[in-house]
Chain A
Amino acid sequence: MTTTTPTTPVNTPQGPPARPLGKPFGRSKLTSRGIANAVVLIAALYTMLPALWLVLASTKNADALFGSDILSFGDFSFGRNLSDLFSMDGGLYGEWYVNSLLYAVVGALVGSLISVAAGYAFDKYEFRHKEKLFGLVLTGVMVPPTVLALPLYLVASNIGMVNTFWSVFIPVLFNPFGVYLARLLSSGYVPNEVLEASRVDGAGELQTYVRVSLRMLGPGFVTVFLFQLTAIWNNFFLPMVMLSDQHLYPLSLGLYTWNSAATVSPEYYPLVVIGSLLAVVPLIVAFVMLQRYWKSGLTAGSVK
């Protein structure tokens, strides 16, 4: 595999070396350094503490959640909550988890294959009405998915697709931002000379795409995949509009319905808490593992 350098700025996880620039804040270096670090510490606490609360609260049963001190571990019922979570309502939570994985992982995989192929075609080939079509892609980037949810529902109900797996799965494949990003990345990662060389060798265009270009586009593919994975995992409005069968729900919608049930029957509270905790895990894992990629995507996106 060749090593290629993308044209977009990539922040390596190591980050650039520390560069103190001239005089730091104020005269007294020590106090300004202290104040700066304190401000950043407060920000980190602000973002961390609610997440920490979720972790602690998931170890409490319904009574302890409402009653005692959040930091006391006298009543540790994490295991109990966990088994309740997966047995409640006939194991619905497990089904939701599988659904979310299907919608998000398979959807993001198929969706990014489609987007990367289209972005690559926009970058490497000339065809009629190319820029007009790309203008449509850019319009698609501007229109947020929530605005499309109701129109999609109306079409789906007209052709009898409402309340099916496909009514959520197909719309999430559409990722115009992925096409935009893939076009950008393709021009950075895949030099035209490589295509020429492959043509001289007598390879067909599609063969070249699959065997050569797609491999070079690997990191770009991961970036598009991550963006789409997050978007689908967060998807709430579309499933809410499309689905009425609880067995088809993704986690987001399932937890929402349990939360509304909790206002009447409080035994759902600990389940919503621990269910939320488990629902966050896959994305955190993906983000930590693939840090390098989303950062490059983020900067590429903001250059736009």
Chain B
Amino acid sequence: MSSKGAAPPSAAAADPPRRTGRRQQRVAAAVLLTPFTALLVAVFLVPVGYAVYLSLFSEDHEGLGFGGGRTVFTGLRSYLSVLQDPSFLSGFGTIALYCVIFVPLVVISALALGLLLDSGLIRLRRTVQMLVYLPHAVPGIIAAVIWLYLYTPGLSPVIKLFAQADITIDFLGLHTVLPSIVNIALWSGLGYNMIIFYAALQALPREVIEAATIDGAGGIRTALQVKVPIIRGSVVMVCMFSLIGALQLFTEPMLMNQATPMVNSRFTPNMYIYDAAFRRNNYGLASAASVILLIVTCVLSYAVTRWSGRRERRA
């Protein structure tokens, strides 16, 4: 990696400069790494450590607020109260249900589009890619605003259209609000995932597919039995990243929360954290919930890296 192996012959004689060179390299590495390391400590390690600390202590206000209350060690009490809180657990339940709908939907539709683009049947392929990718450049909050308005009776041309056919449709009802949120995520993520699959398909060795064709496999069979199994690495990656993304769900339901009582203020784990910290002013509870979410996310992420690591070794 460094200069050791690739030293030109003339440098062999110049030993002392070499040594100063090595020191120079260490200095250079330190200079280049310092800003990032400072950030790593200041906005990653310290906050996480502080959240863990706060989750183990709590402000004691028994003295009617004399002297602002003192901090007492409460051990895992905050964690217990978070884990026993039905509204926190129902947040994870919401996420689970959301994943059950969203993950298969986005993977299958993005994969289908990727395969179609790869099949050579599609006209204007570049334009199509751009158009389908476009929503990914739309910030999450704005995507949510657009769709919220398309779901709002009176504003929405979609609802008007259905009304003309005498169909009443309520996008923000008890059973429709979660699919409505899924739809926003699908709209934003479809093109992004399509391009990931398309890029993976483009990298496939052409001989394999030609061989399948010579063996008499049709287009659909080649796609499902030859192409998809080879790019299953990308498929699993997209699944896992969608799962991890789902755990972060915040923007869309937060906006929906303003529009419909069907989305309460603790609808997802992130909303629970926000609610605990800023509406209930319970930092111990909010910290404990953050740490739990952090751990769950890390466990899932670890699974991703383990999995993709195995895939690389196999390849």
Where the two chains meet, the residues of A that have a C-beta atom closer than 8 Å to any C-beta of B are: 9, 11, 13-16, 18-26, 32-33, 36-37, 39-40, 43-44, 46-48, 50-51, 53-54, 57, 65-66, 70, 114-115, 117-118, 120-127, 133, 136-140, 142-144, 146-148, 150-155, 158, 170-171, 173-174, 176, 179, 192-193, 195-196, 199-200, 204-206, 209, 230, 233-234, 236-237, 240-241, 251-252, 255-256, 259-260, 263, 269, 272-273, 276, 279-280, 283-284, 286-288, 295, 298-299, 302, 304
Q: Are B47 and A44 in contact (CB under 8 A)?
A: no
B229 on interface, CB distance cutoff 8 Å: no
What is the bound-complex CA distance between A281 and B217, given in angstroms? Answer: 46
What is the bound-complex CA distance between A26 and B121, given in angstroms? Answer: 12
CB neighbours (8 Å) of A151 from chain B are 47-48, 50-51, 287, 290
- Count A-B contacts at CB 8 Å: 312
CB neighbours (8 Å) of A120 from chain B are 32
Q: Are A114 and B218 in contact (CB under 8 A)?
A: no
Q: A40-B116, A256-B255, A302-B200 are in contact. Are A154 and B125 (CB under 8 A)?
A: no
Q: Are A283 and B137 in contact (CB under 8 A)?
A: yes
CB neighbours (8 Å) of A193 from chain B are 6
What is the bound-complex CA distance between A39 and B31, given in angstroms? Answer: 53
Where the two chains meet, the residues of B that have a C-beta atom closer than 8 Å to any C-beta of A are: 1-3, 6-8, 10-11, 21, 24-33, 35-37, 39-40, 42-44, 46-48, 50-51, 54, 109, 112-113, 116-117, 119-123, 125-126, 128-135, 137-142, 145-150, 154-155, 157, 187, 190-192, 195-196, 199-200, 202-203, 206, 209-210, 212-214, 217-220, 222, 234, 237, 244-245, 247-248, 250-251, 254-255, 258-259, 270, 273-274, 277-278, 283, 286-287, 290, 293-294, 297-298, 301-302, 304-305, 308
Q: Which of B24, B50, B308 contacts A304 (CB 8 A)?
A: B308
Q: Which of A174, A241, A256 contacts B141 (CB 8 A)?
A: A256
Q: Are B196 and A47 in contact (CB under 8 A)?
A: no
What is the bound-complex CA distance between A60 and B276, given in angstroms? Answer: 40
CB neighbours (8 Å) of B122 from chain A are 36-37, 40
Distance (whole angstroms) from the CB of B308 to the closest CB of chain A: 7
Q: Are A196 and B138 in contact (CB under 8 A)?
A: no
Q: A171-B43, A209-B28 are in contact. Are A237 and B270 (CB under 8 A)?
A: yes
Q: A37-B123, A50-B146, A146-B250 are in contact. Are A24 and B48 (CB under 8 A)?
A: no
Can you pick out 23 interface pairs between chain A and chain B where the beta carbons lie within 8 Å of each other? A9-B199, A21-B213, A22-B213, A23-B213, A32-B219, A36-B121, A48-B134, A118-B32, A125-B32, A143-B294, A144-B248, A155-B50, A173-B39, A192-B1, A205-B28, A233-B139, A236-B250, A241-B278, A252-B142, A256-B255, A269-B149, A280-B139, A298-B195
Q: Are B28 and A47 in contact (CB under 8 A)?
A: no
Q: Are B32 and A174 in contact (CB under 8 A)?
A: no
Smallest Cβ-Cβ distance to A256: which chain B residue: B141
Q: Are B199 and A15 in contact (CB under 8 A)?
A: no
What is the bound-complex CA distance between A154 and B284, given in angstroms? Answer: 11
Distance (whole angstroms) from the CB of B245 to the closest CB of chain A: 8
Smallest Cβ-Cβ distance to A118: which chain B residue: B36
CB neighbours (8 Å) of A121 from chain B are 28-29, 32-33
Q: A25-B220, A47-B132 are in contact. Are A259 and B258 (CB under 8 A)?
A: yes
CB neighbours (8 Å) of A241 from chain B are 274, 277-278
Q: Are B121 and A280 in contact (CB under 8 A)?
A: no
CB neighbours (8 Å) of B131 from chain A are 44, 47-48
Q: A23-B213, A152-B43 are in contact. Are A36 and B134 (CB under 8 A)?
A: no
Q: Are A195 and B146 in contact (CB under 8 A)?
A: no
Q: Are A117 and B35 in contact (CB under 8 A)?
A: yes
Q: Are A302 and B141 in contact (CB under 8 A)?
A: no
Nearest 10 interchain pairs by C-beta: A22-B213, A205-B28, A151-B47, A142-B301, A118-B36, A151-B51, A125-B29, A121-B32, A25-B219, A20-B120
CB neighbours (8 Å) of B213 from chain A are 21-23
Q: Are B195 and A295 in contact (CB under 8 A)?
A: yes
CB neighbours (8 Å) of B294 from chain A are 143, 147
Q: Are A21 and B199 in contact (CB under 8 A)?
A: no
Q: A40-B128, A158-B50 are in contact. Are A24 and B119 (CB under 8 A)?
A: yes
> Which of A146, A260, A304: most chain B Cβ within 10 A?
A146
Q: Are B138 and A51 in contact (CB under 8 A)?
A: yes
Q: Are B138 and A33 in contact (CB under 8 A)?
A: no
Q: Are B202 and A118 in contact (CB under 8 A)?
A: no
What is the bound-complex CA distance between A240 and B279, given in angstroms? Answer: 13
